[in-house]
Chains A and B, each alone.
Chain A
Amino acid sequence: MPTLKIDGLDVTVEPGTTVLEAAQFLGLEIPTLCHMDGLEPYGGCRLCLVEVGSGDKSRLVTSCTYPAEDGLTVRTNSKRVLRSRKMMVELLLSVCPSSRTIQDLASLMGVQKVRFKTRNDDCILCGRCVRMCKEQMDAGAIGFVNRGHKRKITTPFNMKSEVCRTCGGCIYVCPACNLRCQGPNAPGDVCGSCLSLQPTCTERFDDYMCYLGPTGNCGTCIKKEEN
């Protein structure tokens, strides 16, 4: 059974477990959006990025798809991870500013300003609905069309689907259709006051994340400082 180190903690998991699952098993919080239990891993939203390996060879990978390999070192909250994650949230927020889910993610990660021109897309193309329809409902009524910035989700030839049973599974799994909190904010701003859980110690300690409640309680950072 593979044993790996996540944020300094050793964990042994069943073969076939993903890094995300292993981290969750330890109680570590990794934000996800396109991931959903019961659906095939997709790796599209890039929120669950973690840093694996060390030194020059370290790189970012999506924890929802990455297999928990023996001897792997994982950092879920390094500066590099946070930099990418924050940018992903800012990008999401710029295309879908009115989604509650995305606003909450932004608050969680301390993203309070969008520097890109905002659009008002309804869909963030996370593909949950597509996978739900195909994998769980065995219908395959919807899919992706086009590439790049023209990509969208629709039925074949944009016509009423013959195989759709209007089960509503697609709507049920959509993370984007939650509505915005009606705060007094200018477009592009997120107040973030409802949920600001950014652990302050990560600014200084890449390897560790305080996961036991209020920052500082785990004591890891204090111990580290004494060394």
Chain B
Amino acid sequence: MKLVKTADDLDKLRKAVLAKRSPEKPVVSVCCGTGCRASNSAELKETLEKEIVKQNLKDKIEVKASGCHGFCEHGPIVVMSPKEIFYERVKLSDAEEIVRETVVKSNLIGRLQYIDPAGGERIKTENEVPFYKKQKRKILEKNRLIDPTNILDYVAVGGYEALKRALTGMKADEIIAEIKKSGLRGRGGAGFPTGFKWEFCKRAKGDIKYVICNADEGDPGAYMDRSVLEGNPHSVIEGMIIGAFAIGSNKGYVYVRNEYPLAVKNLTVALAQAREYGFLGKNILGSGFDFDIEIERGAGAFVCGEETALIASIEGKKGEPRQRPPFPATKGLWGKPTNINNVETWANVPLIINKGADWYSRIGTETSKGTKIFSLVGKVVNTGLVEVPMGATLREIIYDIGGGIKGDGEFKAVQTGGPSGGCIPKELLDLPIDYESLAKAGSIMGSGGMIVMDDSTCMVDVAKYFLNFLRDESCGKCLSCREGTQRMWEIVNNICEGKGKKGDLELLEELAVVVKDSSMCGLGQTASNPVLSTLRYFRHEYEAHIKEKKCPARVCKALITYSIDTDKCVGCLLCLKNCPQKAILGELKKPHKIEIEKCIRCGVCNEVCNVKAVLVS
């Protein structure tokens, strides 16, 4: 009997699952998130399975595919219970030895262990890795414990317990009150209080209502929603069922970009299993409440993450926003009241229902509660997914968890909030990360992207990069955003090309303020952030480009020249051979020379030179 028809059935099911699983039985858990898959973890899992059969251990050891651990750079990641031994960068050829030594005899294989870059010591378990130690993993924690394609794994770790509580023990209004009290705010960007949003939708007139999970995640470099959907899809499903029950909706959609094939696959499996067990469908847990979820795949436009554009896209129209009001809570999908929340927001719901609003609201700051997942990338030692309580400082995230700046550069700025976020300078490293502080600093929480930049970064170039993204991704419907992003890009691009002139910065600033003020949707309203924040903290760099025609970080090609330090050059011919323009003259053992007219400033000579004889000025 699979169908879970009542609260009792769920308890029985969990008991039965746990009874079959002995905590002593060794489990080899291989991360099969997208990151680790890219370094061949799926094949590694198969190899380990074969190896276990070969060594006659078939019934004694279980091999399991888990979700993303967030430390993808060190993948494939393998964790062996019961001792929680943690191996990184495991190769196929390591499988035999792992089974023979570690799984059977608990002997550690030194070369597969994580080495703390600070102390140089080998680290045994995942929790002791500095990257994880300072995190507070509430949403991501289960990723490593469960196989996302096996609903029983989720049930075993307490899955659907919150659903049971909500549907069989709480009234709809009580659920909303609990979510309100928890202080949960939307993780999709704007940080709107979730409980209030639910209430608006519940109160809206209409017999048919919809709930939507926004899994569009279009920010370049961000993959927290992806990891949650891939690694723990049931947590999102459970959150959605609870939300739908509270709001009074019988139909949900998950809007996920088609570029996330594993997320689509795991979610499809999870939905089918949830239906099979009766968590979706008619009369869920005997409550009389019916609900089901459909997957809607997006074709990958950044703007389709904006809620009204997303709704248009589900309706089969061109994915472009419309002017609000009316808000989706009153007039959304097919004109019906619709509640839309981000993946991470939904995944927070079971946590709150299980542990209570009081517990939840103790995490975080006065106005921002709970934890937030960030995707930490750029010039830091440890890149990956980082989950911290709201209010953690940038310094904690970048230095304690991220391990500081990679290479010998110096920290310069961190860009938060995705393409339309802002750049925060090093003076603000102790800024606590919450919605208000970020906004005050000229940036946004966004969905949680965090790009660390060192002193080799030109901030004008950074602004140009994001403006270029935004002028492409603006839907183009409203003049302010379409023409505004284009013109801002033109001005900044000119500055980078050394064509900046007096008055440019004033015009740029004036335009940026107007675009922020006048645009139709969140894209245009935040599109000025890269410009305004870099102008605010790095105005001198803009001025150097315009007045002195210099790029202080030596990035903007039009403003730099390459030459060779004749004292240092040993005449090895390396640069000469590698120059794609044949712009370098010289003979063996004699100092070389760059012909400026031919040089396209590609920087290859600088990269190949072993004696650092190439000068950039």
Are A149's CB and B472's CB within 8 A?
Answer: yes
Residues of B within 8 A of A42 (CB): 477
With A60-B518, A65-B323 as known contacts, state yes or no: A146 contacts B479, CB within 8 Å.
Answer: no
With A125-B476, A148-B482 as known contacts, state yes or no: A88 contacts B325, CB within 8 Å.
Answer: no
Residues of B within 8 A of A67 (CB): 325-326
Q: Give the contacting residue for B476; candidates A94, A116, A149; CB below 8 A.
A: A149
Distance of A146 Cα from B320 Cα, bound (Å): 11
Distance of A148 Cα from B518 Cα, bound (Å): 16
Return the CB mask of B516-539 against A: 1 if under 8 Å, else 0: 011110000000000000000000
B: interface residue count bin: 35 or more
Tell me the interface secondary structure of chain A in the complex: mixed
- B507 contacts chain A at the CB level, 8 A cutoff: yes
- A132 contacts chain B at the CB level, 8 A cutoff: no
- A91 contacts chain B at the CB level, 8 A cutoff: yes
- B39 contacts chain A at the CB level, 8 A cutoff: no
Are B476's CB and A147's CB within 8 A?
Answer: yes
Distance of A143 Cα from B325 Cα, bound (Å): 24
Residues of B within 8 A of A62 (CB): 323, 520
Are A148's CB and B471's CB within 8 A?
Answer: yes
Are A92's CB and B479's CB within 8 A?
Answer: yes
Q: Give the contacting residue for B475; candidates A80, A84, A148; CB below 8 A.
A: A148
User: Nearest chain A CB to B98's CB is how many angstroms away?
Assistant: 49
Are B479's CB and A44's CB within 8 A?
Answer: yes
Residues of A within 8 A of B483 (CB): 91-92, 94-95, 149
Closest residue of chain A to B490 (Cβ to Cβ) is: A117
Distance of A223 Cα from B519 Cα, bound (Å): 35
Residues of B within 8 A of A41 (CB): 323
Return the CB mask of B299-334 against A: 1 if under 8 Å, else 0: 001010000000000000010101101100000000
Residues of B within 8 A of A149 (CB): 471-472, 474, 476, 482-483, 485-486
Closest residue of chain A to B326 (Cβ to Cβ) is: A67
Are B473's CB and A147's CB within 8 A?
Answer: yes
- B394 contacts chain A at the CB level, 8 A cutoff: no
Are A146's CB and B476's CB within 8 A?
Answer: yes
Distance of A49 Cα from B484 Cα, bound (Å): 16
- A45 contacts chain B at the CB level, 8 A cutoff: yes
Question: Total A-B pairs in contact (CB under 8 Å)?
Answer: 103
Are A43's CB and B487's CB within 8 A?
Answer: no
- A205 contacts chain B at the CB level, 8 A cutoff: no
With A66-B325, A80-B517, A115-B507 as known contacts, state yes or no: A91 contacts B487, CB within 8 Å.
Answer: yes
Distance of A94 Cα from B487 Cα, bound (Å): 10
- A83 contacts chain B at the CB level, 8 A cutoff: yes
Are A87's CB and B476's CB within 8 A?
Answer: no
- A144 contacts chain B at the CB level, 8 A cutoff: yes
Residues of B within 8 A of A190 (CB): none
Are B486's CB and A147's CB within 8 A?
Answer: no
Chain A residues 29-65 with CB under 8 Å of chain B are 41-46, 49, 59-62, 65
- B478 contacts chain A at the CB level, 8 A cutoff: yes
- B29 contacts chain A at the CB level, 8 A cutoff: no
Closest residue of chain B to A47 (Cβ to Cβ) is: B479
Residues of A within 8 A of B472 (CB): 147-150
- B514 contacts chain A at the CB level, 8 A cutoff: yes
Are A43's CB and B511's CB within 8 A?
Answer: no
Are A125's CB and B322's CB within 8 A?
Answer: no
Return the CB mask of A127-160 against B: 1 if under 8 Å, else 0: 1000000000000000110111111000000000
- A124 contacts chain B at the CB level, 8 A cutoff: yes
Closest residue of chain B to A80 (Cβ to Cβ) is: B517
Chain A residues 77-124 with CB under 8 Å of chain B are 80, 83-84, 87-88, 91-92, 94-95, 115-117, 124
Are A151's CB and B482's CB within 8 A?
Answer: yes
Residues of B within 8 A of A44 (CB): 477-479, 520
Closest residue of chain B to A40 (Cβ to Cβ) is: B322
Residues of B within 8 A of A115 (CB): 503, 507
Are B476's CB and A151's CB within 8 A?
Answer: yes
Residues of A within 8 A of B301 (CB): 147
Are B487's CB and A116's CB within 8 A?
Answer: yes
Are B484's CB and A91's CB within 8 A?
Answer: yes
Distance of A94 Cα from B479 Cα, bound (Å): 12
Are B517's CB and A60's CB within 8 A?
Answer: yes
Distance of A49 Cα from B322 Cα, bound (Å): 15
Distance of A44 Cα from B323 Cα, bound (Å): 9
Distance of A66 Cα from B510 Cα, bound (Å): 26
Chain B residues 121-171 with CB under 8 Å of chain A are none
Closest residue of chain B to A88 (Cβ to Cβ) is: B479
Are B323's CB and A148's CB within 8 A?
Answer: no
With A45-B479, A60-B517 as known contacts, state yes or no: A147 contacts B303, CB within 8 Å.
Answer: yes
Distance of A144 Cα from B476 Cα, bound (Å): 9
Closest residue of chain B to A92 (Cβ to Cβ) is: B479
Closest residue of chain A to B469 (Cβ to Cβ) is: A148
Q: Give the contacting residue for B482; candidates A49, A117, A125; CB below 8 A.
A: A125
Are B318's CB and A144's CB within 8 A?
Answer: yes
Residues of B within 8 A of A61 (CB): 323
User: Nearest chain A CB to B303's CB is how many angstroms away?
Assistant: 7
Closest residue of chain A to B478 (Cβ to Cβ) is: A44
Closest residue of chain A to B474 (Cβ to Cβ) is: A148
Residues of B within 8 A of A116 (CB): 487, 490
Residues of A within 8 A of B520 (CB): 43-44, 46, 62
Distance of A183 Cα from B604 Cα, bound (Å): 54
- B480 contacts chain A at the CB level, 8 A cutoff: yes
User: Nearest chain A CB to B366's CB is how many angstroms away?
Assistant: 19
Are A143's CB and B479's CB within 8 A?
Answer: no
Are B517's CB and A84's CB within 8 A?
Answer: yes
Closest residue of chain B to A83 (Cβ to Cβ) is: B514
Are B471's CB and A84's CB within 8 A?
Answer: no
Are A49's CB and B476's CB within 8 A?
Answer: no
Are B476's CB and A84's CB within 8 A?
Answer: no
Distance of A65 Cα from B325 Cα, bound (Å): 8
Closest residue of chain B to A143 (Cβ to Cβ) is: B318
Closest residue of chain A to B520 (Cβ to Cβ) is: A43
Chain B residues 496-519 with CB under 8 Å of chain A are 503, 507, 510-511, 514, 517-519
Distance of A66 Cα from B476 Cα, bound (Å): 20
Distance of A88 Cα from B518 Cα, bound (Å): 9
Residues of A within 8 A of B511 (CB): 87
Are A148's CB and B473's CB within 8 A?
Answer: yes
Distance of A125 Cα from B487 Cα, bound (Å): 16
Are B518's CB and A46's CB within 8 A?
Answer: yes
User: Nearest chain A CB to B192's CB is how many angstroms away?
Assistant: 15
Chain B residues 444-493 with CB under 8 Å of chain A are 470-480, 482-487, 490
User: Nearest chain B CB to A191's CB is how many angstroms away?
Assistant: 22
Closest residue of chain A to B483 (Cβ to Cβ) is: A91
Chain B residues 172-196 with CB under 8 Å of chain A are none
Residues of A within 8 A of B473 (CB): 147-148
Residues of A within 8 A of B474 (CB): 147-149
Are A49's CB and B479's CB within 8 A?
Answer: no
With A83-B514, A88-B518, A148-B486 as known contacts, state yes or no: A46 contacts B478, CB within 8 Å.
Answer: yes
Interface of A toward B, CB cutoff 8 Å: 41-46, 49, 59-62, 65-67, 80, 83-84, 87-88, 91-92, 94-95, 115-117, 124-125, 127, 143-144, 146-151
CB<8 Å pairs between A and B, sample of 8 = A62-B323, A91-B479, A115-B507, A125-B476, A125-B482, A147-B476, A148-B473, A149-B486
For the complex of A and B, 3 pairs with smallest distance between CB atoms: A151-B476, A43-B323, A148-B474
